[in-house]
Chain A
Amino acid sequence: MTSHRRVDTAGLVIALLLLALSAAVFWDMNRLELSSVYGVGPKAMPIVVGTGLALLALGNGVVAVRGGLPKRETVDLTAILLILGGLGALIALIALGGGFILATATLFVAVATAFGRRAYLVDFLIGFALGTFAYLLFAKLLALTLPVGPLERLI
């Protein structure tokens, strides 16, 4: 019983990505020098991985053409963008010296909003409290180094 399924474009994209990864591995490998020790050098594993990826790219491509990937439901893109945006904001805040507490509070609001809440201020305060608590616990009690910003300098 062969059902005619449409070619799965997403699957083909995945296959192409795998092929690109394989190419990247081989390209990077060419920079390496052959070592003079007995046995295999640092090129061996990249060859194995690169070849494997290329073969799997083919395999995935075949599966995609046959429509063998599972059916997917629709995606709520806003939710995804909110979460990734929250992470981006966290990274930006830390990179620019905004500090741990502000960054985690922003992430908290972003993710809570992604899951449907619209209470921005309350969520920000909860995130703020979580961040402060974590900062005190980790930085003071467990002596870990966390990024310091204007708020942390007050503690």
Chain B
Amino acid sequence: MDVFISLAQGLTVAIQPMNLLFALTGVLLGTAVGVLPGIGPALTVALLLPITFKLDPAGSIIMFAGIYYGGMYGGSTTAILINTPGESASLATALEGNKMAKAGRGGPALATSAIGSFVAGTLATAGIAFLAPYLVELAIRFGPEDYFALMCLAFVTVSATFGDSPVRGLTSLFIGLLLGLVGIDLLTGQARLTFGVPELVDGIEVTTLAVGVFAVGEALYVASRRHHHEEKLEPVRGSLWMTKEDWQRSWKPWLRGFAFGFPIGALPAGGAEIPTFLSYSTEKRLTKYPEEFGKGAIEGVAGPEAANNASAAGTLVPLLTLGLPTSATAAMMLAGFQQYGLNPGPLLFAEKPDLVWGLIASLFIANVMLLVLNLPLVGLWVRLLAIPQPWLYAGILVFAAMGTIAANPSVIELLMLAVFGVLGFLMRRFDYPIAPAVVGLILGPVAESQLRRALQISLGDPVALVQSPIAATLLALTAVALLAPFVMRGLDRFRAVED
């Protein structure tokens, strides 16, 4: 089969010593930032973009992917040990995992989390490898109107369909779109929303927005609510190994978690929270030990963790095959590709198969590295948490400033960093989701250019936008996705009145 040949070729790229080193650096960095509060994979990739500008593209992208996978592993460690999930995707893990840790079974919790993540991650990466050629075939037949419809669907699902408040999600999206408008319009050369400021003519850098909103915004938010009680760190007592019963109770949740995580992760949806919570409630319903749930049931860690990792890998499917980022981290990886002038999608598979398959092959390698490194190094990761919070955040902000300065040492850029920091703080404070803004900024211009291209080809006829069956279906789905949350709200109110 072609896939195996391509994978084999990719493997020869991935096992080159430099790329192995990049992968190792990536997974170590990723786990570290997954463990540390206040900094996550998206921000880390954003910070590294200016620094890796002069390095080898394949190696850098492999490193970013390693960071992405590593971040998931790291987040689980904090979720289990100190009940502070690194990302919202680790919330479900924290539910049972921390109870297990408190009961002295932190080791097996970490073990099932790591092994489950490895199993699901490997299966999901295999999924990427096998699905990619089919999706690329499909994507080749996409015309600009199909891409435009797909992006509309992605916009709506990322901002409105999932999450607490569609209004706030859409507001965040439109702020992102607004920021994407700033700069020169490529088709006519006119400057939009620059207000006479020369630095804005190039547009707003995704990294500046991401670093500002994630790093500065997070620091402002955490600093402003410092007077919170600290969760106690549970030391890892006892053996790290799982008993035979642990294995027996874990393997099916691993597989079910993968089944939830990968498809949902591959769809343009709001993130990894859904598959992890689906997995959690499924395991709760299917377990032979229901009384243990709430006190530390191992299935409640195994399933969500597998779902978590499978979903992260799943996000790479639309990113690599269609160039469609469906989360903030994926948007950063897209920015990483674009930095080297590469555009993920069918063209990249055709022009640079070594790079793409090398990346996929190194994902397998990264998974193995993460499994091998994380369990023995748990002690090291835990010690990272002992860094005093003031130094941690000071360091994060210093790196944030450094990254922005290194990319573009202008005062305006730094002012934007501060402004976006305030924006990020306000968004957190008033519960506006952040991912839609990032996706809006990076995809808005692309969506616009596809729209205009479609209309130029059809000589201004708007029917062209719905003529293609693919575009029509996607736009219909978009409408459904947009109206569904509001309709459900309306129905809820009726139901409440009846009760």
Interface residues of A (CB under 8 A from B): 1, 10-11, 14, 18, 21, 24-25, 28-29, 32-33, 35, 37-42, 44-46, 48-49, 52-53, 56, 59-60, 63, 68-70, 72-73, 75-77, 79-80, 82-84, 86-88, 90-91, 94-95, 100, 103-104, 107-117, 123, 126-127, 130-131, 134, 138, 142-147
Contact = CB atoms under 8 A, between A and B. Distances in A.
Contacts of B192: 28-29, 32, 42, 46
Interface string B169-206: 01100110110010001011010110100000000000
Contact of A76 (B226, B401, B405, B448): B226
Contacts of A142: 51, 54
A59 B451 contact: no
B3 interface: no
B425 A80 contact: yes
Contacts of A33: 190
A107 B394 CA distance: 7
Contact of A107 (B53, B167, B225, B397): B397
A80 B50 contact: no
B455 A138 contact: no
B39 interface: no
Interface in B388-423: 388-391, 393-395, 397-399, 401-402, 405-406, 409, 411, 414-415, 417-418, 421-422
B484 interface: no
Nearest to A32: B190
Contacts of B219: 83, 111, 114
Contact of A144 (B50, B422, B453): B50
B178 A76 contact: no
Contacts, number: 208
19 contacts: A1-B496, A25-B181, A38-B455, A39-B458, A40-B451, A42-B187, A42-B188, A42-B190, A70-B431, A75-B225, A76-B226, A82-B223, A87-B421, A94-B411, A107-B401, A114-B223, A115-B393, A145-B406, A145-B409
B165 A63 contact: yes
A95 B414 CA distance: 10
Nearest to B170: A56
B190 A52 contact: no
B405 A100 contact: yes
Interface string B38-58: 000000000000110110000
A72 B429 contact: yes
B188 A41 contact: yes
B220 to A, nearest CB: 5
Most buried by A among B165, B227, B401: B401
B295 interface: no
A41 to B, nearest CB: 6
A138 to B, nearest CB: 6
Interface string B461-499: 000000000000000000000000000000000001000
Nearest to B432: A14
A146 B391 contact: no
A140 B411 CA distance: 23
Given A94-B405, A112-B390, A83 B216 contact: yes
Given A28-B192, A79-B223, 11 more contacts: A11-B430, A32-B192, A38-B455, A44-B452, A59-B171, A75-B429, A82-B223, A84-B421, A104-B398, A115-B394, A130-B395
A134 B409 CA distance: 15
B243 interface: no
Nearest to A34: B188
B398 A127 contact: yes
Most buried by A among B181, B425, B460, B496: B181
A83 B50 contact: no
A68 to B, nearest CB: 8
A127 B395 CA distance: 8
B1 interface: no
A5 B421 CA distance: 30
A38 B460 contact: yes
Contacts of A116: 226, 389-390
Given A53-B178, A70-B430, A111-B393, A80 B220 contact: yes
A114 to B, nearest CB: 5
